[in-house]
Chains A and B, each alone.
Chain A
């Protein structure tokens, strides 16, 4: 006889499969969660590195951009010790990294640039640099007379050299004439009548304008000229052709092998490594630097100041030619040109740690 055991209901059945599956799934879930967490950490590290790099690059870019577009005359009125906040980037443009630039004037010729870049997640980097500028007063001191030279001076008439001839055509100029006269007075701290002729104080016989030697002048030159020809006015600036002071460019013209000018009108700073001759009706407004002989003939005129030095330095002004010391023209050439508006390497270090 077979006794049948009644089957158990599902609720009474015993087993461990469900528990085992749940435990396994839990363990796997924990491991997956751990992997996700660790991956998130890794992503966070990578993102942090990227943002740090990006903000650092942005901060340095702001400094470099400021250096590239630097014009000292935009900051010359900043009092020493004061800070100017500069807007960086296009107005309204959506920036991935927010940047700010602060310019602090340390003294007469040095500025501290400090840039801060902040990423959307709050990562910040700073960069700082010191900019050296050239104060026009430094350059004025090399130009104390109508003609300053280490060589002999030959003139045919008393009117050939004029000691003080401020221009009356100062309206619209880059530098008001009265301010130019004040600058000149500050540079020499003497009367408003500089001498017509002065022996150059630099016995080294090397042509220098402030801290700049010939190589420095060449590096900064707006135009390189050579040979013979007429002075060219600046295109699109018709008023400059007449010799009046324009609120435009005052170029630094460099001639590496001497120069002959037979007419025309020019302005700015003319630096010649060699002999310079002006003839005909040539007129130059500004500063003329010659490392050799300077010869003026015919109706040629220089309105400004002349510095002639070098082993073969000599000045010859003949005929109706003249050199007139014009502080307005000198100031316009010095303050309106590239030399006094550029940013220079400060000498020892330029980039600084920023905090």
Chain B
């Protein structure tokens, strides 16, 4: 066969070459091994760094989302009326979704200028009236505003005309059960609860299931809501007594990965003061 002939010729030429074939082979193998080891070590190390960064970024994102969501929800609550229950790992609250100002109406149907995260939904939304000193607030509206009164939105529909609206506002016709003179400030809310459980921040609206808002990367052993009263700071998250709430510290950490790729779990502590918990 042709290739046998060619190889025979080549073999013959190699066999006739003077040199150190075995030594060359050993050197080549050694160098290849060293270079390969270095290369593979570098690549594997870089991959580990990438995975660590990915874990770190994902953990940081989970912590950021958790802190920002809780801060946005808790910051402007009235601790005496808006928080139904609180624990180390959860809080049940009024989750505010919009603000409305009554521009026309009194008892029953009213027109409101609405601004919010989403459109109001009578099935799940209620309003709380921001009154202040009622006899004054209602003075020019022909009725009294009952501060703190909660009323369900019986019906809601967007309308085109009736009041002047401003940028970012929508006009709605609502049916309410209570007296709401013009100028009444209404806060639209749904009942919900936030939980730091099973490695994630979870939100539960009403009796629905808990929906995760973040990746399951939080360390349950560390994650905690530390509630603090005006009279002192509670470090263990337990109920601090009869003093009004002054704030809450959100303590978070990323849980270590099973393979140990992350160097150290990172932690954060965000303090949220509740300005409605005391005087200005």
Contacts and interface: CB of A to CB of B under 8 A. Distances in A.
A5 to B, nearest CB: 4
B57 A38 contact: yes
Nearest to B164: A81
Contacts of B75: 351, 353
A27 interface: yes
Given A24-B39, A109-B133, A109-B137, A81 B183 contact: yes
B62 to A, nearest CB: 10
A3 B16 CA distance: 7
Interface string B66-84: 0110000001101001000
B61 interface: yes
A39 B16 CA distance: 59
A349 B137 CA distance: 14
Interface string B104-130: 000000000001110000000000001
A42 B132 contact: no
A211 B133 CA distance: 9
Interface stretch (B139-147, B209-217, B249-257): B139-147
Interface in A312-355: 345-355
Nearest to A106: B183
B182 interface: yes
Interface in B1-53: 12-13, 16-17, 35, 39, 42-43, 46-47, 49-50, 53
Interface stretch (A28-36, A234-242, A255-263, A299-307): A28-36
B160 interface: no
Contacts of B115: 355
B46 A32 contact: yes
A350 B275 contact: yes
Contact of B43 (A28, A138, A350): A28
A350 to B, nearest CB: 6
Interface stretch (A127-135, A164-172, A268-276, A287-295): A127-135
A2 B17 CA distance: 9
A52 B280 contact: no
Contacts of A81: 103, 182-183
Contacts of A345: 279-280
A35 B280 contact: no
Nearest to B280: A345
Contacts of B130: 130, 346, 348-349, 352
- Which size class do B's interface residues fall under? 35 or more
A110 B132 contact: yes
B258 to A, nearest CB: 20
B133 A112 contact: no
A110 B183 contact: yes
B224 interface: no
B92 interface: no
A6 to B, nearest CB: 10
B167 to A, nearest CB: 10
A222 B193 CA distance: 47
A39 B183 CA distance: 50
A114 to B, nearest CB: 9
Contact of A45 (B57, B136, B184): B57
A85 to B, nearest CB: 10
Contacts of A349: 78, 130, 276
Interface in A228-255: none
A347 B99 contact: no
B39 A348 contact: no
Contacts of B136: 107-110, 132, 135, 138
Contacts of B205: none
A109 B131 CA distance: 11
Contacts of A49: 64, 67-68
Contact of B183 (A42, A46, A80, A211): A80
B166 A350 contact: no
Nearest to B49: A35
Given A24-B43, A109-B132, A350-B275, 12 more contacts: A31-B46, A35-B50, A38-B50, A107-B138, A107-B140, A109-B133, A132-B136, A345-B280, A348-B78, A349-B130, A351-B275, A353-B96
- Give 5 nearest A-B pairs by CB, closest first: A346-B132, A31-B46, A107-B183, A38-B53, A353-B96
18 contacts: A27-B43, A28-B42, A31-B50, A38-B57, A45-B60, A81-B183, A106-B137, A106-B184, A107-B137, A108-B139, A112-B185, A132-B133, A345-B279, A351-B276, A352-B185, A353-B75, A353-B76, A355-B116
Interface of B: 12-13, 16-17, 35, 39, 42-43, 46-47, 49-50, 53-54, 56-57, 60-61, 64, 67-68, 75-76, 78, 81, 96, 98-99, 101, 103, 115-117, 130-133, 136-141, 147-148, 166, 168, 182-185, 187, 275-276, 279-280
